[in-house]
Amino acid sequence: MRIGMVVGEISGDILGSGVVKALQQRYPTAVFEGIGGEKMQALGFNSLYDMEELSVMGLFEVLSRLRRLLRIRKELAEHFIANPPDVFIGVDAPDFNLGLEKRLKDAGIKTVQYVSPTIWAWRPKRIFGIAAATNLVLSIFPFEKRFYDQYKVPCDYVGHTLADEMPLVPDRETARQQLNIDADATVIAVLPGSRGNEVKLLLAPFIQAAEIMAQQIANLQIVIPVANGRRKLQIQQWLDANSTSVSIRLVDGQSKQVMTASNAILLASGTATLEAMLCKRPMLVAYRFSRLSAIFLRRMFKAKFFSLPNLLADKALVPELLQEQVTPENIASTLLPLLRNTDLAMLEEFSALHQQLKCQADQQAAVAISKLIEETHC
């Protein structure tokens, strides 16, 4: 049994590793290869390229790397066509994976797209390209399946592995003990993103906002769970070059523990906002693109919200700041009330959404993929 997979960033590595584990239980001798992160490689996954090469966000940022990305995709397609896997699974990274999946499907290889592109937010006509490229879409949010069903495109809703992993009632006291954080400290978990460009655009306003808040809150502590070694070096270099009076601590990984230990969370938009919601902590979600990317994306993006908690609830559960709104002053004035007053109704909605996403995602995904493999072998 050979299974091809490609993930493009850390959130994909989390999903991918869960599926690899579940499929290994069904196919103990299966070989997994393609592009995977540290978690997948720890399970024996053979990564043919560094996942960091695919971790690009923004239209013009992608263009600067386009030649290399196209070359990697071409080489992967040639590799998998010459050595056909029983199934190929693209995990998120749709702009990269769907083109690869189309070539493989045309060559007779079964393909799965795990995590739907945001067709409900922009470029909805992409659904026809998705149908042409895939045999099955695995959606992580329930509203996505309804969209696919309208177009009769095969789609299974599997929930999200993070909802399965995380407790319905988080334990702040234990999380603080594990991280050696004082019980009386006011803690903000700061997550400026897992991509280099995200950290470049967001770290400075995040830390400058913390400096403003520290003038009003005694014993304020900033804890940053760094996504990987590269981001840790990038953040540390910024801190070394920019003096600050705020207490800042970097923690390797452990994002769930850091967010659970916090009083509030300041973070970049992305999967981390789902994790923050599952930690049941108030949050402020912010995002910035390069100027040119922002101009084009604003014209194309149709959704009312961009953070996952708001998209799931279909209302403004958590505050969002985008592009020019992301200033130290706006961040501080928005986050301070969240630190001072707990919105119990919001936390109750977080819990209800958690229950909705708690579906044993890894196993459900593995079952759906196994059915596709078995159909091929019949």
Phi-psi region of 254 (alpha: psi -120 to 50; beta: other; left: phi over 0): left
Bridge partners, residue 285, by sequence: 267, 320
Answer yes or no: is pLDDT of 296 > 60.
no
Stated as kind and residue range, the H or E segment containing 191 is strand 186-191
116-130 mean pLDDT: 79
147-170 mean pLDDT: 93
Q: What is the pLDDT of residue 67?
A: 85
Residues 264, 260: Cα–Cα separation, whole Å: 9
Q: What angle, rounded to 10 degrees, do the helices at 361-377 and 10-26 form?
A: 60
Answer yes or no: is pLDDT of 111 > 90.
yes
Reported as a pLDDT band with limits 50, 70 and 90, residue 228 is: confident
Answer yes or no: is pLDDT of 4 > 60.
yes
Quickly name the fold that domain 2-159+359-377 has: Rossmann fold (3.40.50)
45-67 mean pLDDT: 75
Backbone angles phi, psi at 87, to 5 degrees: -160, 150
Q: What is the pLDDT of residue 335?
A: 95
Residues 146, 120: Cα–Cα separation, whole Å: 10
Within 10 A of 295 (CB to CB), how many other CB atoms are there? 13
Bridge partners, residue 35, by sequence: 6
Q: What is the pLDDT of residue 122?
A: 62
Residues 64, 29: Cα–Cα separation, whole Å: 40
Residues 323, 131: Cα–Cα separation, whole Å: 33
Q: Return the amino acid letter for 45.
A: F
Q: What is the pLDDT of residue 166?
A: 93
Query: Order of strands across the sheet with 186-191?
Result: 247-252, 220-226, 186-191, 264-268, 283-287, 320-322
Q: Return the amino acid letter for 270.
A: G
Answer yes or no: is pLDDT of 374 > 70.
yes
Q: What is the pLDDT of residue 62?
A: 61
The fourth-level CATH superfamily of domain 172-357 is Glycogen Phosphorylase B; (3.40.50.2000)
106-121 mean pLDDT: 89
Q: 164 or 340, which is more confident? A: 164
Stated as kind and residue range, the H or E segment containing 56 is none
139 contacts 118 by C-beta, under 8 angstroms: no
Reported as a pLDDT band with limits 50, 70 and 90, residue 297 is: low
Reported as a pLDDT band with limits 50, 70 and 90, residue 306 is: confident
Dihedral sign computed on CA atoms, order 74, 59, 98, 276: positive
Reported as a pLDDT band with limits 50, 70 and 90, residue 304 is: confident
Any alpha helices (H) in the chain, and if so which ranges? 10-26, 38-41, 59-64, 66-82, 94-106, 126-133, 142-150, 161-165, 172-179, 196-214, 229-241, 255-261, 271-278, 291-300, 308-313, 328-340, 344-357, 361-377
Report pTM.
Answer: 0.80
Express as a percent the part of the chain with pLDDT over 90: 66
Q: 291 or 275, which is more confident? A: 275
Q: What is the pLDDT of residue 61?
A: 56
Q: Give the C-alpha distances (Å, rounded to integers) separating 223 from 54, 202, 337.
A: 27, 15, 19
Residue ranges matching CATH 3.40.50.2000 in the chain: 2-159+359-377, 172-357
Bridge partners, residue 322, by sequence: 287
Express as a percent the part of the chain with pLDDT over 70: 92
43 contacts 1 by C-beta, under 8 angstroms: no
Instruction: Return the residue matching tokens 């026809």.
Output: 128
Residues 265, 222: Cα–Cα separation, whole Å: 10
41-66 mean pLDDT: 78
Residue 233: both structure tokens together: 């070096």
